[in-house]
Amino acid sequence: MEFFLQQFAAGLTSGAIYACVALGLVMIYVSTDHINFAQGEMAMFATYLAWAMIDAGLPYWVAFGLTVLVAFAGGFAIQRVILKPLERAPVLALVVSFIALLSIFNAVAGMIWSYTIKQFPSPFPSRDLFGNGLVSVQQLGVVGVTLVMLGLLTAFFRFTTLGLAMRAAAQNADSARLMGVRVSWMLALGWGLAAAIGAIAGMLVAPIVFLDPNMMTGILVYGFAGALVGGIGNPMGAVAGGFIVGVLENLVGSYVIGNELKLTFALIIVIGVLLLKPAGLFGRVIVKRV
């Protein structure tokens, strides 16, 4: 039983990280209808920036805040400079561009910081919370940061005019444009938010898996799985989906298939959800009018 609880808690921790990645994917999906394959590498790159700042002597939380800001600006710039000209391009061109971004970020990170793994500090102590080996402060911190972020985002979308404008732009671009919303800038804002959320996910995961240019590849796949389970158009759902996938992954990994097939498990989740319930658990079913 204790082993089960431990695995469950560990699952919640990794679930929190998947939830962050999934949230970033959903940000871009709701505002542009695209699935951003570079989300993981963008997060990885931002984490390296944070590492460099801490390495240069900045305190952790200052580096954290700066990285989130820089990531936001970076995501914003990517949408404005690189993706704006492709707004009306066919799906293939977009997928190719995302893959191009993925390669560029990965290669540039490797080029500047090399492929050797680095240690990334955690702001939370790794000691036990109750002294019974179940939950560590570190785990609680990761889950807490995710939940706080979700709360802030929900508040932003629900209670601010800008959030309302973003939702309008995503739901019905033409009507929003007629109401005076600058839709194209809202998309850029979506990209900025996604990059910032990704940066947080990267900084949360780096102390656990160590920092290297390929650290997000597997996590991105789980992020996809989480976003799909929760419904890729629904931020709350994505967070729930991330937690569900994290817990399932840990339990299935420790009881059924072992650690070696965890990515295959993610593949099965992705294909299974896409086939059986493409809208996810909490998503809206979209009916295509013919």
Partner 1 sequence: MTTSWAMKRGVGVTSILFWIVLALLPLIGFVSESSSFDYYMFMGQSMLIYAIAVLGLNLLIGFNGQISLGHSAFFALGAYTAAILMNFGGWPYWATLPIAAVVCFAAGLLFGFPALKLEGHYLALATFTLAIAVPQLLKYKAIAGWTGGVGGVLLDKPDPPEWTRLSPDQWLYYVCLAAAILLFWVVFNLLRSRNGRALMAVRDHSMAASTMGIDLARYKTIAFGISAGITGVAGGLSAITVAYVAPDSFTLQLSISFLVGLVVGGIASLPGCLVGGVFIVLVQNSAQSISDWMKATFALRYDVPAWAIYGVLLLLLMYFLPAGIAGGFAQARTWWTMRGRRGRQQ
Distance of closest approach, residue 240 Cβ to partner 1, in angstroms: 19
CB burial of 98-137 (b: ≥16 within 10 Å; e: otherwise) equals beebbeebbeebeeebeeeeeebebebeeeeeeeeeebbe
Burial 31-42 (b: 16+ CB within 10 A, else e): bbebbbbbbbbb
Say if CB 261 and CB 277 are below 8 A apart. no
Interaction pattern, residues 10-39, with partner 1; x per rule: CB under 8 A: -----------------------xxx-x--
Does residue 102 touch partner 1 according to CB under 8 A? yes
Residue 162 binds to partner 1 (criterion: CB under 8 A):
no
* Among 184, 217, 236, 277, contact with partner 1 (rule: CB under 8 A): 217
The answer to the question of residue 271 lying near partner 1 (CB under 8 A) is yes
Measured CA distances, 37 to 41, 103, 105 (Å): 8, 10, 12
Contact indicator for 78, 195 with CB cutoff of 8 Å: yes
User: Is the Cβ of residue 256 or residue 290 nearer to partner 1 in the bound state?
Assistant: 290
Counting contacts by CB under 8 A, is residue 100 touching partner 1?
A: yes
Q: Does 117 bind partner 1 (CB under 8 A)?
A: no
Which among 5-13, 93-101, 149-157, 163-171 is the span making contact with partner 1, rule CB under 8 A?
Answer: 93-101
CA angle 87, 88, 90 (to 5 degrees): 110
Q: Could you tell me which stretch among 5-13, 80-88, 163-171, 193-201 binds partner 1 (CB under 8 A)?
A: 80-88
- Of 155 and 257, the one with the shorter C-beta distance to partner 1 is 257
290 counts as binding partner 1 under rule CB under 8 A: yes
SS3 at position 222: helix
Q: Should residue 244 be labelled a site residue for partner 1 when binding is judged by CB under 8 A?
A: no
Tell me whether residue 181 or residue 249 sits nearer to partner 1 (CB atom): 249
Rule CB under 8 A: say whether 245 interacts with partner 1.
no
DSSP string, 109-124: HHHHH-SS-B----SS
User: What amino acid occupies position 41?
Assistant: E
Would you say 71 and 198 are in contact if contact means Cβ atoms under 8 Å apart? Answer: yes
Residues within the interface to partner 1 (CB under 8 A): 33-35, 37, 82, 85-86, 89, 91-97, 99-104, 106-108, 110-112, 217-218, 221, 224-225, 228, 260-264, 266-267, 270-271, 274-275, 278, 290
